Structure 1
Amino acid sequence: MAVWGARMPAVQQAAHLSTGSLSLVLLAAALGMVAGLWAGGRFARPERLPALLICGAVALAASLALLGQCRTLASLLAAALAFGAAHGVLDVAANTGAVRCQNAYGKPIMSSLHAAYSIGALGGAALAAATAGLAHGALFLGTALVLALAVLAAEPRTVTLSGTDPKTPGPHEAGLVRAPGRVWLLGALAAASLLGEGAAADWAAVHVHALDAGAALAAGAFALYSSGMAIGRLTGDRLTTHFGAPAVVRTGAVLAAAGLATGILANHVPTALVGWAAFGLGLSSTVPSLITAAGNHGPRSVATVSVTGYVGLLAGPALIGALASATTLTMALLLPALLAAAVAVLAPRALENTTP
């Protein structure tokens, strides 16, 4: 995902895409992810998790290689659809396994598990920056081959926790359900936070590149964002234990809003890079804390918050592209900053009395 996002300017240039056309490609990936989430939700039973993890990861690698060979809008739309579907299946499998692991450990580890995703994102972004002189098609193909081989090598060690887990949504519960107002608030906050994560993945490099930064420096924007996210998530469980989820999420959201807004409005490459790093650090603990809070209301509430949150992740990048086409990219990227400010105001109420 990081290699794809960091080299987005090269994808756009190779296919001669306008900002509007690029937003259509991102929308196709979002629609594919919706399909993948639906399919993964239907099949994510404990005994099937290893197969979903392996198949989803291999399919994601294969579709990344395909994306690197596309030079037309039509081919990119088809490949992005497949890429999103594979991502959705893998996401369901990984998060279902994460919930089961946390329940088995009996203590907060969700933030640390989410840090693994951020560390992978950091590695991918760093790879993209280090290979800025290499054609993106070759980079995508090489990355896909290495990842596919690594996944297949890990297959014998891929196991699952069997048995009944009362906190894990079953296949019949993996959709929107009736929920109290507090749960819908948690879902709205998840959507706001994940919109910011999607914006960083797909638009951070484009934003810095638009400030006349080179390809390597532009790719570094997402690397810095991912670094902030990884550091925050690696320390998030410990901070939550000491200060409580409301305080950690509120403080982080203020940092995210102020950092990104400053980086966007300064119109200066170094400030923009610092802004994206602060944005990642500030948002790092939000989603793990929201998912934990939803667990207090039962498995159906966890499913509701997860699905609602993905609305922001899937629709956000395309929405920012549409706003950028109507106004400017600078104005469009203020949306995630404003939503982070809203999270800072509303999160303490949503997370009060939250237990790890």
Structure 2
Amino acid sequence: MIKYIKKKIFLLIIVVPLVIFSIYQLLLASPRYESKVQLTIQQPDGMSTMDPSMALLSGLGVANNSQDIQLVQSYIHSSDMLNYLEDNLSIKEHYTDNQYDIFSRLSKDSSYEDFYQYYQQLLTIEIDEKSSTISVYAQAFEPILSYEIVNAISERSEWFINNIGHQLAEAQLTFIKKEHQEVEVRLQSAQKSINDFQNKHNLLDPETESMALSQISYSIEGEIAKKNTELTALQALMADSAPQVLAVKNELNSLKSQLIKEKSRLTDSQSSESINNVLSEFANLKIDLELAIRSFTSSTVSMEKSRIEAYRQLKFLIVVDQAKVPEKNKYPEVFYNISLLALLLIIFSGTMKIVFATINELK
């Protein structure tokens, strides 16, 4: 009697479930086809396409694609990718089709969360760190659809990578161009101030004008010294009322008046037209212009660096292994699934026997 019960238990625990599962796997389970596409991300070889000095300036080095690969992986698993596939391929309609078995297909009244989870289950991504490649596998009940899904994923991932690179580059360039325009306006303003100042005072270069006036003053002082010497010599020979003496005195007085006038042009602090005041104001304007030129030069270099950085940020998704339409289904793996279930049932049965034997011994 006990042996009969044990046989019944063995049938119930192992044989019946295994037979039912085998019938499902062999006869009822809908075949699922899997397509694969292999991708990698490359960046332009900036070092070979730019001036060596700008390459040093930009600090270009070897790019690490691992983060980009991880980013693509996250995007493929994202709801945005699922929405894209649904909009272009109507994959939910395919996965909920009643012609496929109830255990494999998605329920027609499933929520978006259920659909998203189902999508994750039918999608496999493998990353090879050494070669920096990403392999994408997609399953469908029809071979052509699995092929279309991985192709769509490849195209959308390429758009995603390009879009990120262009957005970052555009944001960076927009900011630096705005800053450069402000610097350029300041430079133009400084140049205009210099030109207006020169036109106002009718001077091309106040520094040169100052040197010229100084030379004139020195020349007049030399003439005065000569006339003083001449006057002293005449006074030693003639009376002060002599015509020659009076003539030299008049010339000397004229030279002294001219010297005072020329020096006042240089040093009169009360007059805005004095050369010293003009020279001081011009020096301030020149400093402003030099600072504006330096800022403009620095901004130009920064803009060039940003352009190079934007070039670096451009990435290209390259298909290493093109997707192909599968000729035979990969899932379900009938032999593997049945063997695995049989092993699990045997383990479970053995465990139950040990439990029952232990209970009997305790009695």
TM-score bracket, normalised by the shorter chain, equals under 0.3
Q: Which protein is richer in helix relative to its size? A: 1
Length-normalised TM-score, structure 2: 0.18
Length-normalised TM-score, structure 1: 0.19
Instruction: Work out which of the two has the higher radius of gyration on C-alpha atoms and give 1 or 2.
Output: 2
Q: Which protein is richer in strand relative to its size? A: 2
Point out which structure has higher relative CO (alpha carbons under 8 A, 6+ apart).
2
